[in-house]
Amino acid sequence: MSAALVHTEGESNTSAARSAWSARLDDSATRQLLKRDSDAFLHQSLSSPCVTAIAKAEGIWIEDTAGRRYMDFHGNSVHHIGYGHPRLKEAIKAQIDELCFAPRRFTCEPAVELAETLGRLAPGDLGKVLFTTGGSDAVEVALKLARAATGRFKTLSFWDAFHGAGFGASSVGGEATFRSGIAGPLLPGAEHVAPWANHHCAYGCNSLEDSARACASMISYVLGREGDFAALVAEPMRATPNPPAPGFWKLVREACDRHGTLLIFDEIPTGLGKTGKFFTCEHDGVTPDILVVGKALGGGILPIAAVIARRDLDVAGDYAIGHYTHEKNPVTTRAALTTIAIIREEGLAERAAELGAYAMSRLSDFGAGSPCVGDVRGRGLMFGVEIVADKAEMAPDNALAERVYYRCLDAGLSFKISQGNVLTLSPPLTISHADLDRALGAVETAINAG
């Protein structure tokens, strides 16, 4: 059996499970390509060495070089409209023929139209935009803008959060994988608090509601205690996945307003319809001061991310806060415009809400009768199944989660494991009801096998 698309947060590239899986590769072409990959690329966690080689990606499917196909419920969160959407490919090809690049200091129609579209769709007075080639860069643009607007440099964010791999993004992020192994300090002034949690949280709470209240109180305390934070940086719904309790973000918004701290929402993996609304923050009725989107914005083909800020935060005109070569690239911006049009015209956010509600109901019913499922949570078509050894104590069972993972791969389903024991399922918004049912059945069967 081929090594198929293993992605476990925090898993070492040299883990026993990865090694055993790779040892079962049975075609020489794949082995040779993996060897070339390992020889050519710098090695890092969750990247090279790779576990297999992909030859094709279409719709909800990916196919490896041995011809094995898998429904992709991971996709690095780029495949909202599925892989290779025909309308998107046609738009990209046409744009390449019309205008393939715009040098800096020049603008072009697709870039302006995309900025206008995002400003029109974003909530509140979020109407000024800057593009980057990736989410990590977009987060760092947001940090620079917050510093310029407030005259402060400190940030508050959550431990275990992920905001990108750059120095600034890693500084406000809280995942050990992206902070450890680097000699010397990251950005000064990057402070963290424990995140909200469903149970056994750092605040000593055993319910999501109590944890959220305690977390919001800690945020308010820290902002007030120090009084000089430029921004709070957070995912409005953690992509582990873990949505907040109702009312949490309103409490945080109020705390930020009291202390002159800007609120930056990172919707890079969760925005653009994935959670059942076009922007994730719409679930909580809270508008940030700066909103960051990316990943799926390029339609699963091209890299592009965007910072969308309040109009009155346009205060950095004398500085280069996002001086990127491809800032106004007509091809990437055309891809983003077309992706947005597909999501809206095909009703994909609404589809995510409908299918997600069905999936959550089915998995919750299954979990209630399973001694191995501690929690089922999510929004829209981003949901997670927490695997536990003891339902009363909610002790994580990472070994069982890994077994479930490989069984699902054998059944033709790929996803990722978050936090060691949370099966994180994030299919394209274009998935059919039948394929979703088939995937959920594979997960349930794999869990039942123990």
> Looking at the domain covering 86-345, what would its CATH class be?
alpha beta
Q: Give the pLDDT confidence of 78-116 residue by residue, as tens digits.
A: 999 999 999 999 999 999 999 999 998 999 999 999 999
Q: Write down the domain spans for the chain.
A: 53-81+348-448, 86-345
Give the number of other Cβ atoms within 10 Å of residue 370's Cβ: 18
Q: Give the pLDDT confidence of 138-171 residue by residue, as tens digits.
A: 999 999 999 999 999 999 999 999 999 999 999 9
**Model pTM above 0.85:** yes
Residue-level pLDDT at 202: 87
Question: What is the rounded distance in angstroms from the CA atom of residue 89 to the CA atom of residue 111?
Answer: 18
At residue 219, does pLDDT exceed 50? Answer: yes
- Residue 262 — pLDDT band, cuts 50, 70, 90? very high
CB 383 within 8 A of CB 418: no
- Residue 323 — pLDDT band, cuts 50, 70, 90? confident
| 59 or 204, which is more confident | 59
- Residue 17 — pLDDT band, cuts 50, 70, 90? low
CA distances (Å), 148 to each of 25, 80, 119, 200, 262, in order? 52, 34, 21, 38, 11
Question: What is the rounded distance in angstroms from the CA atom of residue 289 to the CA atom of residue 300?
Answer: 27
- Residue 200 — pLDDT band, cuts 50, 70, 90? confident
Give the number of other Cβ atoms within 10 Å of residue 270's Cβ: 30
At residue 11, does pLDDT exceed 80? Answer: no
Q: Give the pLDDT confidence of 41-83 residue by residue, as tens digits.
A: 999 888 888 878 999 999 999 999 989 899 999 999 999 999 9
Question: What is the rounded distance in angstroms from the CA atom of residue 75 to the CA atom of residue 424?
Answer: 11
At residue 12, does pLDDT exceed 60? Answer: no
The CATH number of 53-81+348-448 is 3.90.1150.10
5-34 mean pLDDT: 62
Residue-level pLDDT at 198: 84
Residue-level pLDDT at 155: 98
Let me know if 402 is exposed, middle or buried by CB neighbors in 10 A (0-12, 13-18, 19+).
Answer: buried
Nearest to 411 by CA among 441, 382, 381, 383: 441
Residue-level pLDDT at 8: 47
What would the 3-class secondary structure string for the chain be? CCCCCCCECCCCCCCHHHHHHHHCCCCHHHHHHHHHHHHHCCCCCCCCCCCCCEEEEEECEEEECCCCEEEECCHHHCCCCCECCHHHHHHHHHHHHHCCCCCCCCCCHHHHHHHHHHHHHCCCCEEEEEEECCHHHHHHHHHHHHHHHHCCCEEEEECCCCCCCCHHHHHHCCCHHHCCCCCCCCCCCEEEECCCCCCCCCCCCCCHHHHHHHHHHHHHHHHHHHCCEEEEEECCCECCCECCCCCHHHHHHHHHHHCCCEEEEECCCCCCCCCCCCCHHHHHCCCCCEEEECHHHHCCCCCCEEEEEEHHHCCCCCCCCCCCCCCCCHHHHHHHHHHHHHHHHCCHHHHHHHHHHHHHHHHHHHHHCCCCEEEEEEECCEEEEEEEEECCCCEECHHHHHHHHHHHHHCCEECEEECCCEEEECCCCCCCHHHHHHHHHHHHHHHHCC
